[in-house]
Structure 1
Amino acid sequence: MGLTTLIAITLCCIAWSLWIRRVTWSSRWEFAATLNIALQGGAVLLMSPWASETLGAFLYSLTGKWNLEDYIGHDLYIVAASAVVYNALGRLQQDHELQRSFKQYVEYPATLCIPLLLVAFTLGNGAKIYKADFFQVPTDFWLNMYWLLLCGTLIYLLGYGARALLVLRKDPRSRTVANIYLVSSAAGIAACLVRLATAFIPQLQAVNAGTALTWIFACMCGAGFAITSAESWRKKTRWFSTAER
């Protein structure tokens, strides 16, 4: 399966999920899950070779920096992972405790990471060397620090969310959704680990399999969250419809 096909399938899954969940934007309990899907879709789109060849070239003409669209996409991933945590915690904690935990353990680290990423991105090869696939940009010290910050933050956020999901799965009503969310989170963590390995081990940078694995796991993460969230909402709406009869 080519990269273009993989990205297209993932974006179709996300678009379908957003359509199914289109009424949830105003729902307090469902907003975070829908936001996560939308942000992951935006991230996949911005990281795609198509975006690099079009939007990336346009941004370079304005700023003199390559691959800015990828940096923006990575920022969206951080916010998406934060939304996963918020969605899980929202089903376990009361409002005050939720806001306190989220701000301390999620919002602060994520907010700090984004400007630090920009510094590392600007100083390193990320902004200097153009590649249609940003994963193929050869790393230097600053780009390695960029990947370490990004992947480390995403692993932390997804792992934090997974802790809450492990509690949720004890409830039989939430077990199926929680299990698939856990698999999707694991895929996201796997994508980060593969990316770190290929960034810090120079011999692996010339191997296309590393880049392919990163994309596969990242798309599994996005599609998994999207499909599960859509099916979860469809079940809820069917239950509401049955209850009204």
Structure 2
Amino acid sequence: MALATLLVITLACIAWSLWIRRVTWTCRWEVAATLNIALQGAAVLLMSPWASETLGRWLHTLTGKWNLEDYIGHDCYIVAASAVIYNTLGRLADDDAMQRSFKQYVERPATLCIPLLLVTFSIGNGAKMYAADFFTVPTDFWLNLYWLLLCGTLIYLLSYGIRATLVLRRDPRSRTIANFYLVASLCGILACVVRIVTAYVTPLQTITGSNLVWLFACLCGAGFALASARSWRIKTRWFTKVPH
């Protein structure tokens, strides 16, 4: 019940943020932030027990692999973290420099990680053993490697984003939103650290360990969603002011 409540609150925050930012899908400098929110929402939904009980079983009948919806959700997280960086770099550098940095330090590692995740997922317990909550699947060598690759990549991407956000934070106009982004990124990193620890320390592979990962992951998603909604409202405030 506690997990269900946490997921509902997180998805509600994400849905509200997407509604607030609904016009940004056609805005070049805002679409990456909106994409990040949408992908985090998709990731939370795909990783949820609800998806495992429905979509997961259907995918198993098609492929013979369990928990594919979780793998897809994890891919969404990687792209979401990349979108955060793209959004931040776009405010710090000219277009050519931003594209070069993004391709070298973000796009290539993320692109390399996704197929490696699929390999380690497919040959380990991740695809062999069903669990409504993928965090509770007992780990073997390959699933441990999967978690290490996934969480290591996410920690790298979020840390890269933090580095860029700290530069953006120097501007007083951006400081409040940057602080929210920093906290959300730190929550994402904590979720990854907890997952690595619980994956490799077998006695911690319990519902409690799983819920701790969920807590930080949901704080990350909700934090980015609320900060992005607030950011867009600030930017559009002068459009909606009524002259006195």
Q: Deviations over 1:189-224 (max 9, x none)?
A: 00000000000111211x322111100000000000
Q: Give the corresponding residue for 2:199.
A: 199
Tell me the TM-score normalised to structure 2 length: 0.98
Change in CA separation of 1:243 and 1:149 when aligned onto 2, cut-off 3 Å: farther
Q: Give the corresponding residue for 1:53.
A: 53
Task: Give the RMSD, CA atoms, in angstroms.
Answer: 1.2
- Provide structure 2 residue ranges, at least 5 long, that are not aligned to the other structure: none
2:64 is the alignment partner of 1:84:
no
Task: Give the letter aligned to residue 211 of structure 1.
Answer: S
Tell me the TM-score normalised to structure 1 length: 0.97
For residues 119 and 30 of structure 2, the distance between their equivalents in structure 1, rounded to whole angstroms, comes to 34
**Which residues of 2 match residues 1-245 of structure 1 at below 5 A?**
2-205=2-205, 207-242=206-241
Q: CA deviation at 1:239?
A: 2.1
Matched positions, count:
244
Provide the secondary structure at the position in 1 that maps to 2:92: coil
For residues 238 and 70 of structure 2, the distance between their equivalents in structure 1, rounded to whole angstroms, comes to 40
Identity %: 74
Q: CA deviation at 1:242?
A: 3.8
Q: CA deviation at 1:235?
A: 1.4
For residues 242 and 188 of structure 2, the distance between their equivalents in structure 1, rounded to whole angstroms, comes to 37
Q: Deviations over 1:24-58 (max 9, x none)?
A: 00001100000000000000000000000000000
Q: CA deviation at 1:90?
A: 0.6
Q: Deviations over 1:111-170 (max 9, x none)?
A: 000000000000100000000000000000000000000000000000000000001111
Q: CA deviation at 1:244?
A: 8.9
For residues 244 and 144 of structure 1, the distance between their equivalents in structure 2, rounded to whole angstroms, comes to 60
Change in CA separation of 1:94 and 1:10 when aligned onto 2, cut-off 3 Å: same
